[in-house]
């Protein structure tokens, strides 16, 4: 079965999923989208208000900034795959609960297995904590983990994990915005280095 067919099946299951209480409050589930052969997967924690309305990931103000960060290193949305750990918006954008993360995990795992990215860029605390747990890596805080490359194995696939802050943090703090810009520059350098090998 092709990657497209496999990812279409996941998306079709996500949009009708009622496995946790978030299905009762959502307008639209947000399966994720992007390049089926992407070397880079960007994983956030959960959809927000704009994403819930459109059924697409990172389409609000944080998404616009994410697109700017990608453009700075020569990438566009069409070059990467973007998704979230949790596929439905938690009410009032509260933090996702452990049960919600656990219930949604199989969808994300199937997406990772299908795409087989070389890099997973985790956006924010919950995404990083979740992906680190899958890789067997210790996690203390996003501040300590961010801006570094972790060579590891997830679901039997060798890859690099690169954690950074969630782009939404840039909307509230100039300091976090600068950290995000710096982290994406590091990512760009690493990608360029690999291309030149």
Q: Where are the domains of the chain?
A: 3-195
| pLDDT, position 193 | 86
CA distance 152 to 53: 35
Predicted confidence at residue 195, as pLDDT, reads 76
Instruction: Please compute the mean of the pLDDT values over residues 9-28 and round it to a whole number.
Output: 97
Q: Global pTM?
A: 0.96
The per-residue pLDDT for range 132-144, each reduced to its tens digit, is 999 999 999 999 9
Average pLDDT over residues 93-118: 95
Interior/surface letters 103-127, b for 16+ CB within 10 angstroms, e for the rest: bbeebbebbbebbbbebbbbbbbbb
pLDDT in tens, 165-187: 999 999 889 999 999 999 999 99
pLDDT level of residue 196 (50, 70, 90 thresholds): confident
Q: What is the pLDDT of residues 48-104, one digit of tens each?
A: 999 999 999 999 999 999 999 999 999 999 999 999 999 999 999 999 999 999 999
Task: Give the separation between CA 144 and CA 164, rounded to whole angstroms.
Answer: 10
119 pLDDT higher than 90: yes
The third-level CATH classification (topology) of the domain covering 3-195 is Uracil-DNA Glycosylase, subunit E (3.40.470)
197 pLDDT above the threshold of 70: no
- Predicted confidence band of residue 122 (pLDDT cuts 50, 70, 90): very high
User: DSSP readout, 124-139?
Assistant: SHHHHHHHHHHHT---
pLDDT digits (tens, 9 = 90+) for 1-12: 899 999 999 999
Q: What is the mean pLDDT of the segment spanning 102-110? A: 96
For 185, the 3-state DSSP assignment is helix
């Amino acid at each position: 079965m092709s990657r497209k067919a496999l990812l279409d099946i996941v998306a079709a299951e996500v949009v009708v999923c009622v496995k946790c209480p978030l299905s009762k409050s959502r307008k639209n589930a947000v399966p994720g989208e992007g390049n089926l052969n992407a070397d880079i997967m960007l994983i956030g924690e959960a959809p927000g208000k704009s994403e819930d309305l459109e059924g697409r990931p990172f389409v609000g103000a944080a998404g616009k900034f994410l697109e700017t960060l990608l453009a700075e290193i020569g990438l566009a949305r069409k070059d990467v795959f973007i998704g979230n750990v949790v596929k439905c918006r938690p009410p009032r954008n509260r933090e996702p609960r452990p049960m919600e993360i656990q219930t949604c995990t199989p969808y994300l795992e199937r997406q990772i297995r299908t795409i087989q990215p070389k890099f997973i860029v985790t956006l924010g605390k919950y995404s990083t904590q979740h992906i680190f747990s899958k890789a067997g890596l210790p996690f203390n805080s996003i501040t300590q983990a961010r801006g570094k490359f972790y060579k590891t194995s997830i679901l039997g696939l060798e890859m690099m994990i690169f954690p950074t802050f969630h782009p939404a943090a840039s909307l509230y703090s100039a300091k976090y915005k600068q950290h995000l810009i710096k982290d994406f520059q590091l990512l760009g350098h690493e990608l360029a280095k690999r291309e030149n090998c």
